[in-house]
Structure 1
Amino acid sequence: MVDISTGTARLEKLDGEADSYVLHVNGVPSSSITLSDPTRLDFEYLDWMRRAIDVVLPAGSLRAAHIGAAGCALARALDATRPGSKQTAIDIDAALLGFVREWFDLPRSPALALRAGDGAAEIGTFRPDTLDVLVRDAFDHDSVPPALQSPDFFASCAEAVKDSGLYVANVPDSGDHGVLKSELNALGEHFAHLAAATEPAILKGRRRGNVVVLASNTPLDTAGLDRSLRTAASVATFLSGKGLRSRLGL
């Protein structure tokens, strides 16, 4: 265990694995990393995110930003599968960024630049219409910081993301869908097309878990997204458009 700017971090080696680790930040599992295979994403919601990105933006390099870096698992996977991509990973914890750069031998800038700062402020530093992908996966313990759920934040995200690009977020859902509905309503003020993917039990309100939210100003390939998410190792239910609004009562 090591001290970081916001508390503590520790690496847990997975039993029976030669070089696979789970990074815990302030006691919360935050990233799963396999050093020899950057494409391996053990956290199911990260696999769903990568699948969504591959369907919506199926070819070529990407300009991507990640708000909430942790171990940079998704950024490592995109770097391995999208040669020539330029990514920026932002985390409020400067010390954590130093450790993960050391522990995980991350790609160097400009392939992957690490930036310490408040994501709510840093999103405003990107030029308009420059990002193909913007990922928000930032937590304070088990909740998203309020500044990353504000109207100003979502407006800045929409300004930075290309019309053909994709906003992707990890939204914690406690069963009543309150946070999820609030974020979808806020995103709907700035993005024309919304979708969500999660486990059926979470959607039915039976347990807490991760919901991956997608937003774009270009129509989403809903059939392709549904097909890809149904073939994931952990199958996700995909909803968009009227189906999403009806299911959540939006």
Structure 2
Amino acid sequence: MNPGGPDVQLVPDDDGRGGVTVVMDGSPQSHVSLDDPAYLAFEYVQHLATVIDTLPDGPLAVTHVGGAAMTLARYVSAARPGSPQIVLEPNVALTELVRRELPLPRRHRIRVRPQDGLTGVAGLADASADVVVLDAYAGARVPAELTTVQFLTDVARVLRPDGLALLNLADEPGLRYVARVLAGLREAVGEVAVIASHEVLKGKRFGNVVAVASGGALDVTGLRRAAARAPLPTGVRDAAQLARQVGRVR
């Protein structure tokens, strides 16, 4: 089906599970299973959820920069009922399509704001989020203005003392782009690590890496335990390991 016009398509899965993939300009953007929000088809979304699952039990205040079909917001809503969430998604037509064709669950606390990341984060209160997730793409790259030290400093302002910033980054083997973003995260937020598939971390293929940063103590040991339980081969690199692998970058 194609209720969103030529640039946005909702493509039903053919495996009988009832899932739908949101495709924009021919590229899959997100996947939703209305019947099972814990089913996360995209590898990087599994990694985002893995990190969130290491946080203490109970509701979480989560801000999402980039919404699409709100897959991760639906997961948090199901896994941690009562979680207040803000989704910053400037594409109003996409949001309307998703709300109409892929409605959010009952009793959710997800608020969608038609704002870009810079504007939306600037309008948030200090220490108002347990987690800030950056999953925004223009074409095949995160918009450059969302990876500057200035923007990441604003993200740090919004985070609570032990809060987490999670960034979905795509990179070539070698991870030089990821390393540059991590350098900014270290300066703006604090301790950093990454989680991704073993193949991506070892430089065997292009792929997505989830960067994790916290102004408090980052539980890298807990992340490694969680990664070991992941359904796909998944690894974690701390700052020292990344420095040895990539070298020093600015």
| Bin of the TM-score, shorter chain as denominator length | over 0.9
Aligned to 1:25: 24
Tell me the CA shift for residue 88 of structure 1. 0.8
Tell me the CA shift for residue 109 of structure 1. 8.4
Deviations 1:82-113 (A, max 9, x none): 11110011112111011111122114787001
1:166 to 156, 160, 164: 164
* CA–CA distance in structure 1, aligned partners of residues 171 and 109 of structure 2: 33
Q: Which consecutive unaligned segments of at least 5 residues does structure 1 have?
A: none
Tell me the CA shift for residue 130 of structure 1. 1.0
Aligned to 1:154: 152
Aligned to 1:83: 81
Q: Which consecutive unaligned segments of at least 5 residues does structure 2 have?
A: none
TM-score by length of 2: 0.94
Tell me whether 15-24 or 179-188 shows the greater mean CA deviation: 15-24
Confirm or deny that 1:50 pairs with 2:49: yes
Q: List aligned pairs for 1:1-250, cutoff 5 A.
A: 1-3=2-4, 8-55=7-54, 57-107=55-105, 111-250=109-248
* CA–CA distance in structure 2, aligned partners of residues 109 and 115 of structure 1: 18
* CA–CA distance in structure 2, aligned partners of residues 117 and 190 of structure 1: 23
Deviations 1:108-135 (A, max 9, x none): 7870011111112211111111110100
Deviations 1:192-246 (A, max 9, x none): 2100011222222221100000000111221211111122111211011312222
Could you tell me the percent identity over the aligned residues? 31
* CA–CA distance in structure 2, aligned partners of residues 108 and 215 of structure 1: 32
* Number of residue-to-residue matches in the alignment: 247
RMSD: 1.6
* CA–CA distance in structure 2, aligned partners of residues 27 and 92 of structure 1: 20
Query: One-letter code of the match for 2:214?
Result: S
Query: One-letter code of the match for 2:237?
Result: L
